[in-house]
């Protein structure tokens, strides 16, 4: 073989893998961002995977069931934002880089000493654990690979991990894997179930006009085939799918879903980037009613006005129109980021049904026009929906019985919050101060606090999700219990002071702890209901120290706890 041919083959061999792996080719800088941890990256959550009321905005990196791992700046930059909150991201750090991107590190246990000192100074100045800071570009400069924080489990985190995000200048989160942050994955996505929806009045599937679950048969090669269906009119499909990566059993999100009708593509859902403004529209993307009643997330492969940028279809918004006597094949391709694919093949036979079906729609005296505002009022209760709170027009359940408001079930996706108001002038002034608006949750109708904003005799709250609501009364004061000390104890060798705080009714609204009348920073962890003070903050300098903790619940019931401890 002539040398130049061998060279050509060699070049081809070398080039080919790059060519194929460049399917994820993009305009994002590659290898600019390093890993934020020193351990191999194993994910418990992927970018844009489906969560409650939102798409996940970053990757969740497992931290070996531990807290306190070093968190590294992914690239040179400056700390542009620090946010500490009880819920949500917990302790979070934002680093803005010269290329315009911002990396986000969340659920941290603490910041690196320089940043920690900066945060604590502001917390002590403001006398608040929760804080949001926007340091100047020169205040906290960091280098790529330097330790900026320690991983943790703070805020709304269900176990130790690092939540890592990359955002562009518009603050839109982007899949970090598009920047070359690599996760080992040779495992195909898993298809758990597939559904078909007849859409509109005259459509049918298997001689029914309701959603049908299809029998799914896995093939030896990892693909799937369903039973053949008979359909007529406009239909759409839905799929429940997750992806497992090689080094962990977690069921994470997939990267893309495409669909093809007789070989031509009619849909492309691409989880590479979204905006926080659209994240609530996840509830429209999934079959929300099915999710709320069965706990399973079916991703709809047709765009019923979901308004999502991840959803791309040039052909009929993903809907299929099935004609009588015509057979078609619908194929769905589910891919993870590494382009491991799972294909689902659905044979469809066009069969016009012999009899007509009537959709049985529940009717009530109250109707929502999605694009106009609606006020519902009965007796002392008033409900206000802004325009475009809902996606569709529909009959809404609305009934008031004494102080209970029946507002259907939380099975209708909503884009906005709405308000509920009670006129409480029929209560005595003493009672009015103890009332709050609760959502009645679950079979046992447990009252869950929604709000208690009071203007004169009007008590109101803002909430999302239909359901049953009632006025509830909280006369129980919060409880305050020392965890690791008792009164008059010597605590010289203690690093932390721990106090448990709780409230059984409306929940804790605020807390304040002082030593010798000086405010002390106590970190509140809602999961363990614990306040923690670090003696290294150096507030308790006396030998004899007076500790005072005041906790107030959401209707204003307040408890004061006082104790004395000694240190030298």
Q: Closer CB to Zn ion, residue 155 or residue 478?
A: 155
Give the nearest distance from C-beta 335 to Zn ion in angstroms: 22
Can you list the positions of beta strands (E) in 397-444?
399-401, 404-407, 418-423, 435-441
Q: Closer CB to Zn ion, residue 44 or residue 421?
A: 44
Q: Closer CB to Zn ion, residue 155 or residue 318?
A: 155
Contact segment (CB under 5 A) with Zn ion among 163-171, 182-190, 204-212, 319-327 equals 163-171
- 160: Cα separation from own chain's centroid: 17
Q: Closer CB to Zn ion, residue 60 or residue 110?
A: 60
Q: Closer CB to Zn ion, residue 47 or residue 533?
A: 47
The phi and psi torsions of 397 (rounded to 5 degrees) equal: -75, 130
3-state secondary structure of 164: strand
Among 49, 60, 278, 336, binds Zn ion (CB under 5 A): 60
Give the nearest distance from C-beta 57 to Zn ion in angstroms: 7
Q: How many CB atoms lie within 10 A of CB 293?
A: 12
Helices first, then strands: H and E counts in the chain? 5, 48
Contact segment (CB under 5 A) with Zn ion among 52-60, 271-279, 312-320, 356-364 equals 52-60
Structure tokens given for 473: 């009364």
Asked if residue 165 binds Zn ion (CB under 5 A), the reply is: no
| b/e burial code for range 537-553 (CB count within 10 A of at least 16 → b) | eebbeeeebebebbbbb
Give the nearest distance from C-beta 40 to Zn ion in angstroms: 18
Give the nearest distance from C-beta 478 to Zn ion in angstroms: 30
Contact segment (CB under 5 A) with Zn ion among 54-62, 240-248, 475-483, 545-553 equals 54-62
Contact segment (CB under 5 A) with Zn ion among 70-78, 160-168, 378-386, 539-547 equals 160-168
Contact segment (CB under 5 A) with Zn ion among 91-99, 156-164, 356-364, 550-558 equals 156-164
Structure tokens given for 278: 């659209």
DSSP 41-88: --EEE-TT-EETTEE--SEEEE-TT-S--EEE-SSSEEEEEEEE-SST
Q: Closer CB to Zn ion, residue 60 or residue 287?
A: 60
Could you tell me whether strands 467-473 and 435-441 are parallel, antiparallel, or unpaired per DSSP bridges?
Answer: antiparallel
Q: Which helix (H) or strand (E) holds 123?
A: helix 113-126
Q: Closer CB to Zn ion, residue 92 or residue 461?
A: 92
What's the CA gap between 42 and 45, in Å, rounded? 9
Give the nearest distance from C-beta 103 to Zn ion in angstroms: 14
Residues in region 442-501 near Zn ion by CB under 5 A: none
Contact segment (CB under 5 A) with Zn ion among 57-65, 191-199, 247-255, 416-424 equals 57-65
Task: Spell out the residues 6+ positions from residue 355 whose beta carbon is closer than 8 angstroms to its own.
Answer: none
Among 83, 97, 163, 284, binds Zn ion (CB under 5 A): 163
What's the CA gap between 271 and 273, in Å, rounded? 6
Give the nearest distance from C-beta 64 to Zn ion in angstroms: 17
Comparing every residue's Cβ against Zn ion, the nearest one is 163
Contact segment (CB under 5 A) with Zn ion among 144-152, 155-163, 534-542, 555-563 equals 155-163
Q: Give the total of residues touching Zn ion (CB under 5 A).
A: 2
Q: Which of 211, 219, 231, 230 is nearest to 191 (CA)?
A: 219
Residue span 203-242 as binding mask against Zn ion, x where in contact by CB under 5 A, dash where not: ----------------------------------------
Give the nearest distance from C-beta 506 to Zn ion in angstroms: 29
Would you say 512 and 519 are in contact if contact means Cβ atoms under 8 Å apart?
yes
Q: Closer CB to Zn ion, residue 29 or residue 156?
A: 156
Cβ-in-10-Å burial (0-12, 13-18, 19+) of 323 comes to exposed
Give the nearest distance from C-beta 463 to Zn ion in angstroms: 24
Interface with Zn ion by CB under 5 A: which residues?
60, 163
């Amino acid at each position: 073989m002539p040398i130049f041919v061998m060279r050509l083959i060699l070049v081809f061999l070398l080039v080919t893998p790059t060519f194929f792996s460049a399917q994820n080719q993009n305009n994002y800088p590659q290898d600019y961002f390093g890993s934020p941890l020193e351990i191999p990256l194993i994910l418990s959550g992927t970018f844009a995977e489906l969560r409650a009321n939102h798409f996940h905005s970053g990757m969740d990196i497992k931290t070996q069931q531990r807290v306190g791992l070093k968190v590294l700046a992914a690239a040179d930059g400056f700390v542009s934002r620090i946010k500490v909150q009880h819920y949500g991201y917990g302790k979070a750090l934002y680093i803005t880089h010269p290329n315009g991107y911002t990396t986000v590190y969340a659920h941290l246990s603490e910041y690196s000493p320089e940043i920690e000192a900066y945060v604590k100074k502001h917390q002590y100045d403001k006398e608040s654990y929760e804080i949001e800071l926007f340091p100047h570009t020169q205040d906290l400069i960091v280098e790529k690979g330097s330790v900026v924080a320690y991983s943790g489990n703070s805020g709304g985190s269900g176990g130790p991990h690092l939540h890592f995000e990359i955002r562009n200048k518009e603050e839109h989160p982007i899949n970090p894997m598009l920047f070359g942050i690599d996760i080992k994955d040779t495992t195909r996505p898993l298809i758990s179930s597939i559904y078909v929806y007849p859409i509109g009045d005259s459509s049918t599937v298997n001689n029914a006009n309701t959603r049908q679950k299809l029998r799914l048969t896995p093939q030896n090669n990892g693909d799937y085939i369903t039973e053949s269906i008979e359909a007529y009119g406009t239909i759409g499909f839905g799929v429940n799918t997750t992806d497992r990566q090689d080094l962990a059993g977690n069921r994470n999100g997939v990267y893309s879903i495409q669909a093809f009708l007789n070989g031509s593509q009619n849909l492309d859902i691409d989880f590479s980037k979204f905006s926080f403004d659209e994240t609530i529209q996840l509830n429209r993307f999934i079959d929300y009613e099915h999710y709320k009643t069965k706990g399973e997330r079916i991703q709809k492969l047709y765009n019923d006005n979901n308004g999502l940028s991840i959803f791309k279809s040039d052909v009929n918004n993903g809907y299929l129109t099935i004609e009588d006597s015509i057979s078609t094949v619908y194929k769905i391709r589910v891919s993870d980021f590494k382009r491991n694919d799972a294909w689902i093949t659905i044979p469809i036979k066009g069969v016009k049904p012999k009899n007509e079906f009537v959709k049985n729609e529940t009717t009530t005296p109250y109707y929502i026009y999605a694009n106009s505002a609606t006020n519902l009022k009965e007796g002392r209760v008033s409900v206000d929906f802004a325009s475009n709170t809902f996606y569709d027009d529909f009959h809404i359940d609305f009934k008031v019985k004494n102080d209970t408001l029946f507002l259907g079930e939380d099975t209708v996706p909503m884009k906005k919050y709405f308000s509920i108001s009670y006129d409480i002038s029929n209560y005595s002034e003493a009672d009015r101060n103890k009332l709050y608006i609760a959502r009645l949750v679950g079979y046992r109708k447990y009252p869950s606090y929604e709000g208690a904003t009071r203007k004169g005799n009007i008590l109101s709250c803002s909430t999302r999700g239909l359901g049953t609501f009632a006025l509830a009364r909280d006369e129980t004061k919060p409880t305050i219990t020392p965890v690791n000390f008792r009164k008059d104890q010597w605590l010289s060798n203690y690093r932390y002071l721990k106090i448990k705080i709780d409230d059984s009714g409306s929940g804790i609204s605020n807390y304040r702890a002082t030593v010798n009348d000086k405010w002390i920073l106590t970190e509140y962890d809602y999961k363990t209901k614990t306040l923690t003070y670090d003696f290294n903050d150096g507030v308790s300098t006396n030998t004899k120290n007076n500790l005072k903790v005041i906790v107030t619940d959401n209707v204003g019931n307040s408890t004061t706890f006082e104790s004395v401890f000694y240190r030298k």
